[in-house]
Structure 1
Amino acid sequence: MSRSRTALTPWLLVSPGALLFLGLVILPLILTVILSFHAYDHTTGIRNEFTLSHYATVLSDDYYLGIFWRTLRLAALTTLICAIIGAPEAYILSRMRDPWRSIFLLVIIGPLLVSVVVRAFGWSMLLGSTGLVNQTLQALGLGTVKLLYTETAIVIALVHVMLPFMVIPVWTSLQKLDPMVEAAAWSLGASHFTALRRVVMPQVSLGLLSGSLIVFGLSASAFAIPGLLGGRRLKMAATLVYDEYMHELNWPLGAAIAIIVLLANLVIMLAYNRMVEARARRTLG
């Protein structure tokens, strides 16, 4: 009797979270997939007929493919910039002592306490034609630069929003690294750059992997920032899905676009995951 209870205990502990995940993630995803195969008519609306026309339309239209390419390109660029900025920032943070470490950690996490919409409006005021950035450029005699409603504005805001999601995983990985290992490399004649490249970086590669996957996934599915800083003409995948659902009322087409974007993200993230893990295994043995 005790053995059967012991065997059931893990299942009983996991079941609440599993049911919540099933109801809030898996079930809506299944319903979205089913909806994407329904026919749609502009006069009668959604029809209970099976069709592949929505997927064929999306995958054969340069308009949709261009938006997908922009979404993945900006998400990859945001991830790269966050890695370039976030990894050194996490390294410096790990070498700080209290109370400065706690203060700067609060500075890094602090923006997460503010709504993404508020931060997007803040960037729109900074990057606008009469914003602080252009006023500074005019004061320096450089003229005005069109930043708002461009890809540059979207990337700047995405980096600001996503940077904590890169810093925290890398910093967590660095917390597991003994500082004496790096000091031992210095004592053996390695330069600071060599110690970082050969000792520190392999140890934090999994932290970089986690942060990159989070940043890429969130950037590719971002809605508020592209919607507010990209405008109506510069669309990304999330704003395209929103337009199909709310403006065109073509829910099956919007569902098809959402599923295609999800599959593309999964393929890219899984391939990147396997590549980084394979390199980590070769490096760390």
Structure 2
Amino acid sequence: MKALRGYLLTGPAFALFAGLLILPLGLTLVLSFNVFDYNTGVDADAYTLDHYAEVFGDSYFYEVFFRTLWISALTTLLCVLIGVPEAYILSRMKAPWRSVFLILILTPLLISVVVRAFGWSLLLGADGLVNQAIQALGGNPVKLLYTPFAVVIALVHVMLPFMVIPVWTSLQRLDPLAEQAALSLGASQATVMRKVVLPQILPGVLSGSLIVFGLAASSFAIPGLLGGRRLKMVATLIYDQYLAELNWPLGATVAVLLLVLNLVVMLTWNRIIERRYKKALG
């Protein structure tokens, strides 16, 4: 009876989860196997592996996936390098400055990604403020917009709060007396950071990096607005297949492969960090 009560209590949540996540993913997977013809459209009663063969047999798709992978990885790395020290400094601040800077960190989340992308396009454009400053200093204009640099810097700006908050949360559980004890025993500040602080914040770094990588790899607005038509990422490629080419099965195939790639990278990274965390604590 207790087991039945548990199933009844979790039933609505599972139904919501299934309806909003499992069912759409399942339908997308089925769609990726449907036959498509430009004259007749999608044939829901016929199935084929041609779309997967097309993706795996065309170097263009490899190029797009590789670009998405390294841009997402670089974005994650920069967020770690910037976000971890930022979270550490934030955790050491006293009231009211801690609240003020926490609000400043979270403020970008209150603004639409599209608005922020347009803001960066104004800054990095040929006549933008950055090129105007370069020209004022006697230099020549630099092509910044529609380059990987523009996409990465905008993604870092958007994703940074998702790295800072998990690390800052981990630091809240760290006893400051542990650092003071290590320093009083003769350890250097670098040693304290490496052997006391870093092992404690690894779960936060793991959570933040997984969130940042997943969101960056599936990001659409920033690559679409700052990367342009030539700098394709997987999300913009899926958009083109669905709305420009109307080849829904091929778009679904690319979407499924992006999900699989994300899962492989994230599970591998999770395994590596967990091993280092256990080794550091052991």
With the shorter chain as reference, the TM-score category is over 0.9
Residue 232 of structure 2 aligns with which residue? Answer: 235
Instruction: Give distance in 2, aligned partners of 1:84 and 1:95.
Output: 18
TM-score of the aligned structures, taking structure 2 as reference length: 0.98
Give the one of 10, 17, 29 matched to 1:14. Answer: 10
Quote the offset at 1:250 in angstroms. Answer: 0.3
1:27-67 residue CA offsets vs partner (Å, 9 max, x unmatched) = 00000000000111111111231100100100110001100
SS in 1 for 2:144: coil
- Following superposition of structure 1 onto structure 2, how do residues 178-197 of structure 1 map, counting pairs within 5 Å? 178-197=175-194
Residue 215 of structure 2 aligns with which residue? Answer: 218
1:252-273 residue CA offsets vs partner (Å, 9 max, x unmatched) = 0000000001101100100110
The one-letter code matched in structure 1 to 2:264 is V
Instruction: Give distance in 2, aligned partners of 1:13 and 1:205.
Output: 34
Q: Which moved more, 1:11-20 or 1:116-125?
A: 11-20
Residue 148 of structure 1 aligns with which residue? Answer: 145
Instruction: Give distance in 2, aligned partners of 1:282 and 1:272.
Output: 15
Quote the offset at 1:14 in angstroms. Answer: 2.4
Residue 80 of structure 2 aligns with which residue? Answer: 83
Identity %: 64
- Following superposition of structure 1 onto structure 2, how do residues 96-175 of structure 1 map, counting pairs within 5 Å? 96-175=93-172
Give the one of 270, 273, 277 matched to 1:276. Answer: 273
Instruction: Give distance in 2, aligned partners of 1:78 and 1:207.
Output: 17
For the aligned residues, what is the CA RMSD? 0.9
Quote the offset at 1:18 in angstroms. Answer: 1.4
Give the one of 30, 33, 40 matched to 2:26. Answer: 30
Quote the offset at 1:103 in angstroms. Answer: 0.4
Q: Which runs of 5+ in 2 are unaligned?
A: none
1:96-151 residue CA offsets vs partner (Å, 9 max, x unmatched) = 01110000000000110000000000000000011111111111112211000000
The one-letter code matched in structure 1 to 2:262 is N
Give the one of 29, 50, 55 matched to 1:53. Answer: 50
Instruction: Give distance in 2, aligned partners of 1:11 and 1:100.
Output: 46
Instruction: Give distance in 2, aligned partners of 1:150 and 1:10.
Output: 53
Instruction: Give distance in 2, aligned partners of 1:46 and 1:107.
Output: 48
Give the one of 71, 74, 82 matched to 1:74. Answer: 71
Instruction: Give distance in 2, aligned partners of 1:69 and 1:13.
Output: 44
Quote the offset at 1:9 in angstroms. Answer: 4.2
Q: Which runs of 5+ in 1 are unaligned?
A: none
Quote the offset at 1:16 in angstroms. Answer: 2.2
Query: How many residue pairs get matched?
Result: 281
TM-score of the aligned structures, taking structure 1 as reference length: 0.97
